[in-house]
Every structure is written in C-alpha cells, then in structure tokens.
Structure 1
Amino acid sequence: MYASFVILAAALVAGTHGYSSGAPPSVCTDMVPKHPVPAQSTPPPYTITTSTKVVKAGTPMEVVISGKSAKDTIRGLLLQARQGDKPVGTFTIAPNDPFAQLLNCGQPGNAVTHKKHDEKFDKQTVAFTWTPPAGFNDEIKFRATIALNGAVFWVGVESGPVKVTN
C-alpha cells in the first residue's frame, strides 16, 4: 500500500514538471497541457490586452498578459494569435529572454511558450511583439493557456478581437 502511494506521488510530481521547458508542438491545436489534472473551470485571473484593436498587415503590435493581482503569476504559457482555430502571424521575443521562447505550431515563431526557469523568473506580466502576415485581412484573437503552476492552469484565455487590415 505504501509503495503504491509513493509511486503515485512520484508520478504526480513528474507530471506537474513534465513541460517545465515549454509546451511541446503536440499541444499546438488544443492548447491543453498533458498535466495529470484537469484545467481550471473558474474564470482566469489573467487578462490579455493588445496595444491596438486595428492593425495593418505586416505592422508589429504588442500583446500583454497580466495577472489580476500580485499572486497571479505566470509559471507556464502557450500563446498564439488565431484566425478561428488557425495560428497566424509571427511573434518576436528578446534573444536572452529568461522566461519565453518561440514555438513552431506549423510555422516558425507563430507561438510563444515558456522556458525552463527558476520560480524567481515567474512573471505577473509578460509582453510580446506580434506581427500579422503581409496581405492578411481578417479578425484574430490572441488565445493562451496560462499556468500558475503544474496543477493550476487555464486553457482558452482570450483577448478581445483585433482587426487586421490590408
């Protein structure tokens, strides 16, 4: 009995740290981490805001994810700009960013995820630059999975719509 408990506890700990180095490409579509617990069903304590509600194709804009209070930090992240269910555009991050890295969800740089990092690098607010593709003319929303920790995370956090004009 005790051995079963130890094995279960070890599996849960391993599972909560399974993607400590960032989301794998296998979760690009549903954005659901394969943690051993379900996503939270409560409203997320995070917001996604954008520097503009209308942007010209090919023109960079800023996307900010913020916790609503100081305790609402971000340990893990997967962020995409989506036209319906399709990731579009390209993100840019600083080369030495201690928190984030680009992810290829069908195209290089069309998603951002977290890097393996110490808890001291958890953020209450993160900001990224996103550029819509040249010639693009449609509405997008930024969609994210945001993890407070390995056992507490929200899937499907969305921004308001952003109109991309040609």
Structure 2
Amino acid sequence: MVIANKTTPSSPALLSVPIHQSLRSLLPTNRMLNSYLVFLSALVATQVTALPNGAPLTACGSMKPLHVPFIFAQPNSPFTLTVSSATASVGSPITVTLKSTTAATFKGFLVQARSGNSKTALGTFDVSQGTNAGKTLNCPKGTANAVTHKDATLKTEQSFKWTPPASFTGKVTMKATVVEAYALIYRDISSETITVS
C-alpha cells in the first residue's frame, strides 16, 4: 500500500526558496528606484523654479512660501528689515530696507506692513527708487500694498518707499519672508515699530 507524501506547513519543501530571496521580489528594483529618483528630482527642480517672478497673491495672508514645505523655515535670520524713521504719515513716506547682515544672499522675498496681529497689508510701496529688484503686489484690500521679487537673481539688499494709508493712525511693523535657497526660508522678520499719524 502506497501512502501519498503530504507536505505540512513545517515541511522543508516549503522552505526550498530562501526567505530573503522571496522578500527581495517584493522590493523595488534598481530601475524602479532610479525612476522614483528622477521623478523626485524633476519635482524639486520644478518647485525651486516655480516662483522666480515673485510671490503669488495666495501668499498675501500667510506670507508662507508656497514652493516648499513650511518645515524648512529657519530660525536666526541673517537678514534684517529696517526703516528710515520710527514715524510716518501720508506726507512723509519712509524707506524700508531688507538687507543681509552676513555674506548670505537671497533670491526671493515678500514684504508687507501690518498692524498688530492683522493679516491685512497696509499702505503703499514704491519700487521706482532705491536699490531694488522688486515689484509691487496688490494684496486684498489694497493696491501696491506688498512688495516681492521680480526675478531670482542673488540679492544682498533691497530698498523701497512706503506710505501709510490716509485713513490709518496707530502702530505698524514691517514684516518679511525671505527665501535664501530652496530649503532656507526665513519668516517673521520684523522691523522696529512705526507710529503712523
């Protein structure tokens, strides 16, 4: 009488293929990995060059750069935002200067004047004078109430004229977001407080 040979789960026949070989078949091949890397590189390159002509209107409220994840924001900015006077009025505009305090250069920026915790940009910027490679931006509730870069050339200093709105009196602070490089973003750069009368 012949008894059929039954294979049990513990039978060596099931282990004839080494476990590491069967697991290897589940992992992506070198060709697949190379494809992923090419795709990611292209995506990063697209994001880096996506906004060379200035911040979009969608950045007006948050002042966050949209081309990179916010996790890249850096503390200890090598850039300062200064004003020519601590007081301003409609008839007496002030000069706002964004400047590197080290050898660092920057490619992009967004500057606004804000009052308190408000996210509304105030006043009017003029980029026709001074040292700048900037252009004005019409953020909500205003005209030329923000200034941003117009190209991605390396910069060390940018200056603009700012005039407060005629209907406003109180305290304002200049705020800036600066892009030094893809993963070097500085937010909440602030000037001294300006009293508008």
* TM-score of the alignment, normalized to the shorter chain, above 0.5: yes
Counterpart of 2:22?
none
Q: Which has the higher contact order (CA 8 A, sep 6+)?
A: 1
- SS of the residue corresponding to residue 87 of structure 1 reads coil
Match of 1:110 in 2: 145
Query: How far off its partner does 1:147 sit?
Result: 0.8
**Shift, 1:98, TM fit:** 6.9
Of 152-161 and 2-11, deviating more is 152-161
Distance 2:95 2:174 in 1: 11
My pick for the range that moved more, 34-43 or 129-138, is: 34-43
Amino acid at match of 1:87: A
Q: Which residue of the partner structure matches residue 67 of structure 1? A: 100
How high is the sequence identity, in percent, across the aligned residues? 31
The corresponding residue for 2:156 is 124
Listed as ranges, the gaps of 5+ residues in structure 1 are none
Q: How does 1:132-151 map to 2 (within 5 A)?
A: 132-151=164-183
Distance in 2, matches of 1:105 and 1:52, equals: 24
- Number of the residue aligned with 1:99: 133
Q: CA deviation at 1:160?
A: 1.2
| Corresponding letter in the other structure for 1:21 | N
| Structure label with greater radius of gyration | 2
Structure with greater strand percent: 1
Match of 2:73 in 1: 40
Answer 1 or 2: which has greater helix percent. Answer: 2
Matched, 1:49 2:82: yes
Q: Counterpart amino acid of 1:88?
A: L
Cα deviation code 1:89-147 (max 9, x no counterpart): 0000118x872111011111000010124x3xx22111100000113211000001111
Number of residues paired by the alignment? Answer: 160
CA contact (8 A) 1:58 1:133 kept: no
Gaps of 5+ in 2: 1-32
Equivalents in 2 of 1:94, 1:56: separation in Å?
A: 19
TM-score (ref. length: structure 1): 0.89
TM-score after normalising by structure 2: 0.76
